Amino acid sequence: MKHFFSLLLFSIVALFANGNNITVANATLSGQNTVSHYTLINFDISWENSWRTSTNENNYDGAWIFVKYRKNSTSDWRHCTISSTGNTSASGSTFYIPSDNKGAFIYRSSDGIGNVNWVNNQLQWNYGVDGLLDNETVEIKVFALEMVYIPQGSFQLGSGGSETKYFMDGTTSNPYTVGNNNEITLGTGPGQLNPNGAGAAAGTLSVDFPKGYKAFWIMKYEISQQQFADFLNNIDETRATVNKPVSAITGIHPNLIAAAPESAIGYLNTSHIAAISDWSGLRPMTELEYEKACRGYNTPAVPNEYVWGNTQIFPLTSVNDQGTANEAVNAPANANATINSQFPFPTRTGLFARSSGSTRELSGGTYYGVMNMGDNVRELCIVIRSSQGRDFTDGIHGDGYLASSGSSNITTWASFQAYGYRGSSYNSPYGYACTSDRSSVSIYTEVYGYDAHLPDTGGRLVRTEQ
């Protein structure tokens, strides 16, 4: 008698389960079809402070779901292929399956705000496509992370203020408008994008470069210590050793432990960002997408604005319950940024997203509700400072696998010269937190010349809507 997908151990993991307590529960397999070689992955999902609006920001949050499996008695975690059809989401929610079938987005199907708890969701796993036989014994893990949808639309680069190396239109100091997804000419002439000293004012950004005009998804929070530990624990030990940053992650693989699980992780370098992007089925963010996610669609730039849309900043000096899931602002009461060495460590991701009475300024959130874009740890981005950065191509996302060396197997992500920093950090200046400040975009090419990992360097991942 055949033994149909008996799970020796069914593990349930909510990867990136920080910020608003995203949880995956009650995961099971059912409905195996041995003719078409698929089975159904059943799960419940919940998180706090969800929203969808058709006015103002006209966007919503959601979760990126992806699943890993391994055969019995192996350490090789593989990536599940999710079908474009045969999926069922809970009432009040909807699934969106990207064309590469590496996972699924789940989000509200209509306007609303508040906590969500969606039960009895089903994703169809085409295990035959992944090379599995009908009678294999496997272990699977379901991962989820909170994301924010950034809709298609025009936006401005630069603010016309006094930030360092801000983008501008020619030599006018005026913001440059990204009004479509067409090729962008770099230069100092009218209607050309001037990098203003951070990159040669010549060349182009091709149609295929992610400019921020097209719709994309972005992680709501920075990568946390626990998120990175989950990543390391679910690749083999050799690859994990290569990717382990100099940080507060201790223990022995595959049971690595994060010292402060909820805190944003530092000491990441470009190879770390490329690897976790690839493994998660996502990709690195570009600096143009950074400004779009901060400033918003068709919103006039405010000179010298911080990522929350005005020029007011209130640095955190102390917290309650440091390093725990309950870490909260202590002083000042209106703190909205972990910045400028006023507090000596990265804090819990989403710390300033209070449960009630919050505003964009108080939460430190961007136009679209993305948290900590200007503080805590700096954001590693693809920048246009170098030809390697300008050659970055849209539509290429991680396939779930790493090269045997432990690096991403997407070679076009490999050059550290393609990356730079945007935003500020717990030990960086206030000015870096301005949406249009580009003080650190040249740090790899002009300052270090190698793939440096610094204590205040972190990041987050994105995915183009397909």
Q: For 62-119, how does the pLDDT look when each residue is reduced to its tens digit (9 = 90+)?
A: 999 999 999 988 889 999 999 999 999 999 999 999 999 999 999 999 999 999 999 9
Output DSSP code: residue 83: P
Tell me what pLDDT residue 201 has.
78
Tell me what pLDDT residue 234 has.
95
d(CA 136, CA 129): 14
Report H helices in 131-203. Answer: none
466 band by pLDDT with thresholds 50, 70 and 90:
confident
What integer is the mean pLDDT of 316-333? Answer: 96
Crossing angle for the helix pair 225-233 and 270-280, nearest 10 degrees? Answer: 70
User: Is pLDDT above 70 for 14?
Assistant: no
Tell me what pLDDT residue 19 has.
52
In this predicted structure, which of 12-21, 387-396, 399-408, 454-463 has the lowest mean pLDDT? 12-21
User: Is pLDDT above 70 for 9?
Assistant: no
In this structure, what are the phi and psi dihedrals at residue 456, rounded to the nearest 5 degrees? Answer: -105, 20
Output DSSP code: residue 82: B
Q: Across-strand partners of 96?
A: 105
At position 279, the amino acid (one-letter code) is: W
Residue ranges and CATH numbers for the domains of the chain are 23-150 (no CATH), 153-466 (3.90.1580)
355 band by pLDDT with thresholds 50, 70 and 90:
confident
Tell me what pLDDT residue 75 has.
86
What integer is the mean pLDDT of 212-224? Answer: 97
Which DSSP string corresponds to 346-407? --BTTTT--SSS--HHHHT--TT---SSSSSSEEEEE-TTSHHHHT--TT----S-B-TTSS
User: Is pLDDT above 70 for 331?
Assistant: yes
Average predicted confidence (pLDDT) for the chain: 93
What integer is the mean pLDDT of 165-185? Answer: 97
5 band by pLDDT with thresholds 50, 70 and 90:
very low
User: Is pLDDT above 70 for 1?
Assistant: no
298 band by pLDDT with thresholds 50, 70 and 90:
confident
What integer is the mean pLDDT of 430-436? Answer: 98
Let me know: does 14 contact 27? Beta carbons within 8 Å: no
Straight-line distance from the first to the last Cα atom of the chain, in angstroms, rounded to the nearest whole number: 42
Cis amide leading into 254 (omega within 30)? yes
Token readout for 170 is 């020619």
The Cβ of residue 82 has, within 10 Å, a number of other Cβ atoms equal to 26
User: Is pLDDT above 60 for 15?
Assistant: no
Tell me what pLDDT residue 183 has.
98
User: Is pLDDT above 50 for 8?
Assistant: no
14 or 97, which is more confident: 97
User: Is pLDDT above 50 for 242?
Assistant: yes
Percentage of the chain lying above the pLDDT 90 cut: 88
198 band by pLDDT with thresholds 50, 70 and 90:
confident
4 or 312, which is more confident: 312
